[in-house]
Amino acid sequence: MPIDEQELRHWVRRVVEGQASRRQFMRTMVGLGLSAPLVASLLATYSTAAAPGARSEPSAFTPTKRGGGGRLRLLWWQAPTIANVHLSTGTKDNDASRVVHEPLAGFNRDGELVPVLAEAIPSFDDGSLAWDGTSVTWRLKKEVVWHDGKPFTADDVVFTWEYAADSATGAVSSGSYQNIKHIDKLDEHTVKLTFVEPTPFWYDAFCGVRGQILPKHLVAEYKGQNSRNSPYNLKPVGTGPYKMVEFKPGDAALYELNPHYHVPNRPFFDMVELKGGGDAASAARAVIQTGEFDYAWNLQVEKDVLERIERQGTRGKVVIFPQAGIEHIQLNRTDPWAEVDGERSSLKAPHPFLTDLLVRQAYNVAVDRRIIAEQLYGAAGQPTSNFINSPKRFQSSNTSWEFSLEKAAQQLDQAGWTRGSDGVRVKDGRRMKIVYQTSVNPVRQKTQAVVKKAFEQVGIEVELKAVNAGVYFSSDPANPDTYAHFYTDIQMYTFGPGSPDPQAHLNRFVSWQIAQKANNWSGRNIVRWSNAEYDRLWKQAETELDPTKRAALIIRMNDLLIEDVVLIPVIWRNGVRGVSHTLHGMELSDWDSDFWDLAYWYRQA
Amino acid sequence: MHKYLLRRVLVTIPTLVGISVVLFTVLALAPGDPFEELALNPNIPAEVRLNLRHQFGLDDPIPVRYLRWLTAMLRGDWGYSFVSRVNVDRLILQRLPTTLFVLGTAYGLALLIALPVGVMSAVRPYSLFDQIATTFAFVGYSLPTFFTGLLFIMLFSLYLDWLPFIYSTTIEASGMRWVAEHLRQAAMPIAVLGLFEAASLTRFVRASMLDVIHQDFVTTARAKGLTELRTILGHVLRNALIPVVTIVALQLPGIFTGAVITEQIFRVPGIGSLLISAIQSTDTPVVMAITFVYSMLVVVFNLIADIIYGFLDPRITFS
């Protein structure tokens, strides 16, 4: 896979910071024809050049006027259905909305804030960020206008909060806005947010994907119950680099250059076309082989197929970037086969053997992460021993993983599970038989097969189960096959924090969030684990304002999950995109929409 | 005739109600909900999802939801899409032109091929032409559209690089270039669908012609001294068309619902792909509207076919 300069810089940085394997880096570079000393000096001379809170893309392209770039063609294999991020049902909608709308600040690849509609990022130094974490003052960029010519002011920011926080609106972004007590408009271009309690994650509201600001003068009458009927949702007006021309839900969106964009000489393209639908493999072909499109989103294609497409294609390449999602196996702490008061996996019935730490440790060392990463994921993932890997400041260095069937067998022996006549382990007359479920997905089914084979070698009988993704991830309380019911012994899928602050992500393991019948399985603690120390750490981190102490708390929470084998992290996933050889300027970030820096994309042969 | 029509129309009402009950129940019992992706995002509180379910009335019992749908439908309100939050009729109308263009052209192409080829095959059965036509019809009929579709993409897009394989509704061109671009991108889907339909229709026309061609009245027509052409067209074809009309009439509603698989492969934003994405995201009002309109069209076209019989065969009377 050819590596462009941006990828190389990023990789070097990750190696220097100890995030990526030095040996792997050396081997690849030497493979590309660089001499070993040269590669070493490349690493040695590198200093963390990118200042926190900036786009790290080198400014190789400095246009002197807007436009002139023709049409940019983007291909999403899921089609956007609505262009208002606050009512979206998925990434496709967030992205379609992000072309038009902008937040106060976006997140770069490392989860750092980059100002968009804000004049600057609030900080303790200039007092715009309160020391006690109860308020934050944002200064807005002046002379920004909406696509219809009206000025962008503090009123729009206040309105966006009122809109999203109103439960009648049914905004999916409401979680980011509900902890705001009030917002004061200090002047036309300054707002002060006051929080209900000290808030370390003060950059949730108005930042990143869910932070997109709506124009008050157009949306005001569609707040609350009316939100769903608003024609605005399909004909949005924003401050972004491109204006919506036409939107066909479930098919395509067409945008044109915004001649009054607030960044000089940007954007580059005259038109942007966002086409949706189809499947990931043919999307990869359309960019890499036929060149019909310039950019394809989320190429979740099997490793072999994607590699073949890339080999055959001459017009584009596969670009990967680190994400935060972890493909992991959860171990059920409750008995899925005993029914108590009309529910299985009830807290009243502990699991017969997964409550034993030795058994869980045995399972952990019986998962061959290396084979899964190399054979099934390829560029799309790497083995991991952590649940939290990014942003880097939250990554624990205390954990490690190994694959050893002898050790697994030893631990099972030690736990009192001896092999029966058929090779399956037995203890007190109970056979060690487990059901392993996941969603229907070719890579997941192959992972299941790898794990099953290893488990069977150490005497664990495994029955595989695959549930249609639409059912598995649904919130239907009446369906026993959802991931939240967890009516099997172990299950596997991907979790990601979804924002650069993992607080909300980590509440998936606090004791008051245990999913059960009483809360219609809407609780987030699916494994039904409870641990007093973890609960305490989580509460402490919720209001801890010192970034260093907070990082320590989060790392400790991660370590608890790993030490107690609450789950088995398997693959740290990468984002995979198809990009035309002529398209440049993007810094793909998992913390924000693909389009967070769309204004800077350009074409150069 | 009028009485007959009235009776037929009245009979369709309970039929349609029955169909709608079955459709609605099946959809309501199907697992899943439109907010799947929200569930995995830790930043979206569970209450938001539960609140949305409640707002959309997904928590009410099925009979209540059905009656609400039925009364709205009777008032001409098709409901609104859960995921796009717009009225369903708007979504469907947006897709209709593309579907009608692609499928209409494909069916037209199919008829243009099937009628002459089928007639000529039947007039000279087991000739070389008939052998070739029958073989092609057989092959074309056996190959599913998802296979020929991919084959066409491999050949014309990836290998020869002649045609685009992604259908765009936002073509930047005007006048003749616009027409040309549209035809270029529609060529593959139309060909795939048209050839498949042509294959099955050819076999039908041929078989039905052969049934008629040996009848006594054909011999009589020849004995009267009619030319061969007039015999075939005026006497054989006209009678042979009755079963063909049935099959065409029953297939016409399909033009409305689109060709699900072909539309998916070529990313044609027709009603078929709308149906698929609505099913995948459990967007019940959209699925319900499309399937119900489809059943209505099937019922109506059945009626139309029955009426056309009367014109083709004066012996059939309506009483």
What is the distance between the alpha carbons of residues A21 and B73, in angstroms, rounded to a whole number? 62
Q: What is the pLDDT of residue A342?
A: 87
Q: Is A254 in contact with B170 (Cβ distance < 8 A)?
A: yes
What is the distance between the alpha carbons of residues A557 and A77, in angstroms, rounded to a whole number? 36
Q: Is B50 in contact with A248 (Cβ distance < 8 A)?
A: no
Q: What is the pLDDT of residue A390?
A: 87
Tell which of B35, B38, B88, B166 to mutate to test the A interface (max A CBs under 10 Å): B166
Q: Is B84 in contact with A75 (Cβ distance < 8 A)?
A: no
What is the distance between the alpha carbons of residues A218 and B274, in angstroms, rounded to a whole number? 29
In this complex, the residue of A87, A290, A522 whose CB is nearest that of residue B50 is A522
Q: What is the pLDDT of residue B74?
A: 86
What is the distance between the alpha carbons of residues B119 and A485, in angstroms, rounded to a whole number? 62
Q: What is the pLDDT of residue A603?
A: 93
Reading the block at residue A229, the tokens are 């009927």
Residue A6: which of A55, A41, A44 has the closest Cα?
A: A55
Residue A346: which of A224, A474, A485 has the closest Cα?
A: A485
Tell which of A199, A476, A501 to mutate to test the B interface (max B CBs under 10 Å): A476
What is the distance between the alpha carbons of residues B273 and B262, in angstroms, rounded to a whole number? 9
- Per DSSP, the residues of A506-569 read HGGGSGGGB--GGGTT--SBTT----HHHHHHHHHHHH---HHHHHHHHHHHHHHHHHTTSEEE
Given a contact cutoff of 8 angstroms between Cβ atoms, the answer to whether B111 and B241 are in contact is no
Q: Is A473 in contact with B39 (Cβ distance < 8 A)?
A: yes
Residues in A closer than 8 angstroms to B32, CB to CB, are 468, 470-471, 474, 476, 479
Q: Tell me, what DSSP letter sits at residue A119? A: S
What is the distance between the alpha carbons of residues B174 and A554, in angstroms, rounded to a whole number? 58
Q: Is B46 in contact with A82 (Cβ distance < 8 A)?
A: no
Comparing alpha-carbon positions, the chain B residue that sits nearest to A228 is: B85
- The whole-number mean pLDDT for each consecutive block of 10 residues of chain A, a chain of 605 residues, reads 56 62 67 60 42 60 88 93 89 94 94 93 88 92 95 96 89 90 95 93 93 95 83 93 93 94 94 91 93 93 90 93 94 95 92 96 96 91 93 91 96 94 92 95 94 96 91 82 94 90 92 90 91 96 88 95 96 94 92 94 90
Q: What is the pLDDT of residue A74?
A: 96
Q: Is A170 in contact with B44 (Cβ distance < 8 A)?
A: no
Q: What is the pLDDT of residue B46?
A: 74
Q: What is the pLDDT of residue A9?
A: 60
Q: Is A167 in contact with B274 (Cβ distance < 8 A)?
A: no
Q: Which amino acid, residue B57?
A: G
Q: Which amino acid, residue B40?
A: L
Most confident of A287-296, B208-217, B263-272: A287-296
Q: Cis bond leading into A500, ω under 30°?
A: no
Q: What is the pLDDT of residue A52?
A: 43
| Cα atoms in the Cβ-side hemisphere of radius 13 Å centred on A364 | 24
Given a contact cutoff of 8 angstroms between Cβ atoms, the answer to whether A274 and A78 are in contact is no
Q: What is the pLDDT of residue B40?
A: 67
Q: Is B280 in contact with A470 (Cβ distance < 8 A)?
A: yes
Run of H or E residues at A316: strand A316-331
What is the distance between the alpha carbons of residues B66 and A501, in angstroms, rounded to a whole number? 44
In this complex, the residue of A248, A495, A519 whose CB is nearest that of residue B169 is A248
ipTM above 0.85, yes or no: no
Largest CA-CA distance found in chain A, in angstroms, rounded: 80
Residues in A closer than 8 angstroms to B81, CB to CB, are 81, 249
- Per DSSP, the residues of A409-471 read HHHHHHTT-EE-TTS-EEETTEE-EEEEEEES-HHHHHHHHHHHHHHHHTT-EEEEEEE-HHH
Q: Nearest C-alpha of chain A: how many angstroms from B35?
A: 6
Helices (H) and strands (E) in chain A, counts: 16, 21
